[in-house]
């Protein structure tokens, strides 16, 4: 995906079909790495092919399919900080909390270098980012809004998908919280804002507001 002043590539993990996003500004060699998943070799090959190095790892939440590549990336680029919501940081080192034990694995990540909270802003790789906390799929789930971008872009992790929403049947899931956060925060953004999800294709705020069967105007109860 090539947008105004923004290039994005995606690596899709075979297991769970999880999306890892690589985002960078044209002419720069540093990039954002969003939710490095279970295909770290593919991720590093893409970075090498584009001659990029990650300035930050952004974890939208701490489930294993979204943090599985953290270790390999940190080994290759040890100065690259891991950024995650403050309420999710414990999942990085806890296989039970990050759900890898459910699949017979014992996945752990290096610890967070920076934790972020709702409304916080920070910059990396030429991007100005705003953090929005939207719990419900996971108690400390955050999304990252790229500010100053037209159309807007949000890395939403497992909050919302094209025509669906994140699961809420995990131990710290909560449908009411998730629906409220989507409607209050994501649906307040302009209709053409692009939502880049942790699984499946991207979508837009306007499309999901109108048609999403769980939280949209013609689906879930407003």
Q: Please give the average per-residue pLDDT across 20-33, as a whole number.
A: 97
Dist. CA 120–CA 143, nearest whole Å? 11
The 8-class DSSP code of residue 106 comes to -
- Phi and psi based region of residue 190 (left: phi greater than 0; alpha: psi -120 to 50; beta: remaining): beta
Query: According to the model, what pLDDT value does residue 133 have?
Result: 98
Give the chain's radius of gyration (CA, Å).
16
pLDDT digits (tens, 9 = 90+) for 11-24: 999 989 999 999 99
Query: Superfamily assignment of 2-211 in CATH?
Result: Ribonuclease Z/Hydroxyacylglutathione hydrolase-like (3.60.15.10)
Quote the mean pLDDT of the chain: 96
Q: pLDDT at position 219, please?
A: 66
pLDDT confidence band for 222 (50 / 70 / 90):
very low
3-state helix, strand, coil in the chain (%, to 5): 20, 30, 50
Question: Does residue 220 register a pLDDT over 60?
Answer: no
User: Which three-class secondary structure state does DSSP give residue 165?
Assistant: strand
d(CA 73, CA 57): 9
Mean pLDDT across 143-164: 97
pTM of the model: 0.96
């Amino acid at each position: 995906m090539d947008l105004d002043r923004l290039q994005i590539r995606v690596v899709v993990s075979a297991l769970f079909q999880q999306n890892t996003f690589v985002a960078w500004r044209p002419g720069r060699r540093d990039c954002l790495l969003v939710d490095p998943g279970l295909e770290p070799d593919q991720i590093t090959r893409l970075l090498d092919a584009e001659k990029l190095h990650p300035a930050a790892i952004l974890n939208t939440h701490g489930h294993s399919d979204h943090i599985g590549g953290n270790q390999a990336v940190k080994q290759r680029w040890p100065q690259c900080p891991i950024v995650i919501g403050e309420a999710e940081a414990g999942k990085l080192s806890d296989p039970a909390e990050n759900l890898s034990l459910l699949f017979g694995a014992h996945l752990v990540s290096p610890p967070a270098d920076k934790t972020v909270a709702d409304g916080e802003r920070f910059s990396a790789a030429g991007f100005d980012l705003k953090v929005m906390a939207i719990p419900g799929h996971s108690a400390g789930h955050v999304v990252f809004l790229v500010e100053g971008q037209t159309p807007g872009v949000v890395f939403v992790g497992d909050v919302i998908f094209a025509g669906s929403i994140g699961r809420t049947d995990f131990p710290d899931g909560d449908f009411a919280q998730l629906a409220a956060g989507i409607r209050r925060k994501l649906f307040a953004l302009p209709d053409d804002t692009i939502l880049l999800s942790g699984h499946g294709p991207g979508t837009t705020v306007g499309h999901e507001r109108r048609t999403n069967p769980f939280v949209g105007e013609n689906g879930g109860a407003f």
